[in-house]
């Protein structure tokens, strides 16, 4: 079972995990990644972040990533939940969950998905920092991580 959601409200990490394997006895591995908002970026304090997306385009991009992961690994299900709107430090931003019969497929697919989300999904972040507002630029380390795949 695959599910993709983009939402403003917080998500329940445990409920997202359980939805992945519930009623599927073939699942032998569950791997998740939860990205949290930090209060520091590039050495500057961050009080708040506004996360924007392009409705329709974003869902299409996420669906393509999920399809690609499903073609590359033997998976039982994927859940992607990404928040938009105003976020504060320690707020969960993204949930990536993958289930498979064996752990290797789940680990690789989860890592691929978060690397791809950072570079191929149309989200834009604006931070409110101690020095003012700024748009978050793409990081070279994210691009390098995505090239592995």
CATH number at residue 39: 3.90.1170.40
When pLDDT is averaged across residues 132-141 and rounded to a whole number, the result is 88
Handedness of CA 12, 8, 117, 3 (dihedral sign): positive
Confidence of residue 55 (pLDDT cuts 50, 70, 90): very high
The string of pLDDT tens digits covering residues 27-50 is 999 999 999 999 998 889 999 999
Residues 4/59, Cβ–Cβ less than 8 Å? yes
The helix (H) or strand (E) run that includes residue 125 is strand 123-129
The string of pLDDT tens digits covering residues 62-83 is 999 999 999 999 999 999 999 9
**Token pair belonging to 80:** 């992607």
The string of pLDDT tens digits covering residues 19-28 is 999 999 999 9
| Residue 53 domain boundaries | 2-147
Count structural domains, the chain.
1
Average pLDDT over the chain reads 95
């Amino acid at each position: 079972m695959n599910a993709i959601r983009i939402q403003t409200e917080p998500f329940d990490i445990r409920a997202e995990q359980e939805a992945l394997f519930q009623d599927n006895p073939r699942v032998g591995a569950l791997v998740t990644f939860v990205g949290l908002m930090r209060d520091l970026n590039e050495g500057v304090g961050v009080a708040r972040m506004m996360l924007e997306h392009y409705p329709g385009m974003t869902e299409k991009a996420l669906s393509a990533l999920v399809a690609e992961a499903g073609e590359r690994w033997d998976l039982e299900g994927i859940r992607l939940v990404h928040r938009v709107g105003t976020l504060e430090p320690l707020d969960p931003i993204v949930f990536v969950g993958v289930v498979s019969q064996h752990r290797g497929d789940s680990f690789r697919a989860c890592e691929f998905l978060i690397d791809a989300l950072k570079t191929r999904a149309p989200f834009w972040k604006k931070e409110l920092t101690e020095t003012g507002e700024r748009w978050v630029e793409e990081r070279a380390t994210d691009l390098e991580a995505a090239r592995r795949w």
